[in-house]
Amino acid sequence: MNGDGPLAGLVVVDMGQLLAAPEAAMLLADFGATVIKVEPPTVGDISRKSGWEVNGTSVWWRWLGRNKYAVTINIKDPRGQKLVRRLIDGADVLIENMRPGKLEAANLAPEDLHSTNPDLVILRVTGWGQTGPYSDRACFGTQVEAMSGFAAANGQPDGPPTLPTFAIADAAAGYLGAFSVMTALHGRDKHPEKRGEVIDLSLMEAMFGLLGPQASAYSALKAMPQRIGSRSPMGAPRNIYKTRDERWLAISCTANRIAHRVFTLIGQGHLLDDPEYSTPEGRLRNVDKVDELVQAWVGARDGNDVIGQFSAAGATVAPVYTIADIEEDEHFASRKMIVDVPMENNESLRMQNVFPRFQHNPGSVKWSGRELGADNTAVFMERLGLSQQEFEEYKRDGVI
């Protein structure tokens, strides 16, 4: 049960469910950590039954459970609590996402865990955080996407606030959670007198952090992000335009010189004598006119022609892709961004690769999410030394 990769030797117990916490654990497993995923017996992780299913198991589990060892423990049973405690006592990291107080109710309070494993890093993931007036309320990604400021500034100006289709808040918390675990481990290893750590990661803060300096803009200037379709408060042109052959292209001008290239290319170079079009502030003031000029030029041409001319002019353009387009794109293929991963019955499943790529000691995908309890024997008998009799008894009583 030892992987390779930069995190080889690191032992992680993943008691999270569904998305943010298990994704943090998955990133650690991707880079070689030994991640033992603990699920409730019989039902398993919620992600096993969440949306699109392949052979009766959701693609969410098959992705989030990859590279992990799957065991079952009923942590409501005192024997289950002792069993998971033995796993945690031998681990570097515990990841959990129960509502505040539930870990404590299972006799697994952080201070208790630190009494026998003082070096343990505990990542606690919740919607609201461990403290504060809302901490007892249920909170999932949707609520975070609504309250962080994202939805209010997502969508068309004449339409409603719009939630994302993708689970952005959870995934952001997964990335930030994995970073915070590695940061706490570094602190522990470099400053051993500091020992273990308890990390209070809220989906709300992970998402709010992702959205940039809106608090600064608002408090100093009373400026705030608005629902402006595909435009951006940082520059113009930046939008999605429709070509003659009905393709959607995204064009943006992060740097002023790129905007100048675009104006020259679309035959409007004469406007660059006017600060209303030659400066970022001027173009933002005249964004309707700017978009009209770009759309008129793009709309008179086919997509490949526009992409070719923009690229030759050193201007940034990209087509709007679906996953079907991605699967056919030569760059995605060349980078092996999607790989075939072994599943049960000698089948395989395509899923995203390990990101980012390390030149010398990279991560890898070894297997997709396993069947419920697939590693009970290896973990409980071989690793923890449970006897055959105990194992059978625990199984019979629903402890595992």
Residue 287 near its own copies by CB under 8 A: no
Site for its own copies in 66-105 (CB under 8 A): none
Chain residues 222-281 in contact with its own copies, contact rule CB under 8 A = 223-235, 238-240, 242, 248-252, 254-255, 258
Told to check if 56 binds its own copies by CB under 8 A, we report no
Tell me, residue by residue from 304 to 333, as one string, x for binding to its own copies by CB under 8 A and - for no binding.
Answer: -------x--xxxxxxxxxxxxxx-xxx--
The reply to whether 172 sits near its own copies by the rule CB under 8 A is: yes
Structure tokens given for 205? 């803060």
8-state DSSP, 159: S
d(CA 299, CA 302): 8
CB of 380 to its own copies, least distance (A): 27
Cβ 25 vs Cβ 52: under 8 Å: no
CA–CA distance, 364 with 31 (Å, rounded to integer): 7
- How far CA 81 is from CA of 37, 88, 111, 199, 253, in Å, comes to 15, 10, 15, 22, 56
Query: How far is it, in rounded angstroms, from Cα 169 to Cα 142?
Result: 8
Q: Pick the piece of the chain touching its own copies (CB under 8 A) from 77-85, 134-142, 373-381, 382-390.
A: 134-142
Q: Is 220 in the site for its own copies (CB under 8 A)?
A: yes
Q: Which residues are identified as catalytic?
A: 170
| DSSP string across 3-18 | --STTTT-EEEE---S
The distance of closest approach from Cβ of residue 25 to its own copies in the complex, given in angstroms and rounded to an integer, is: 12
Task: Give the contact letters, 14-53, x = binds to its own copies (CB under 8 A), - = no.
Answer: ----x--------x---x--------------x---xxx-
Question: 191-204 burial by CB neighbour count: b if 16+ within 10 A, else e?
Answer: eeeeebbbbbbbbb
Site string for its own copies, 352-381 (x = CB under 8 A): xx-xxxxxxx--------------------
- Residue 155 or 398: the one with the smaller Cβ distance to its own copies is 155
- Please tell me whether residue 204 binds its own copies under the rule CB under 8 A: yes
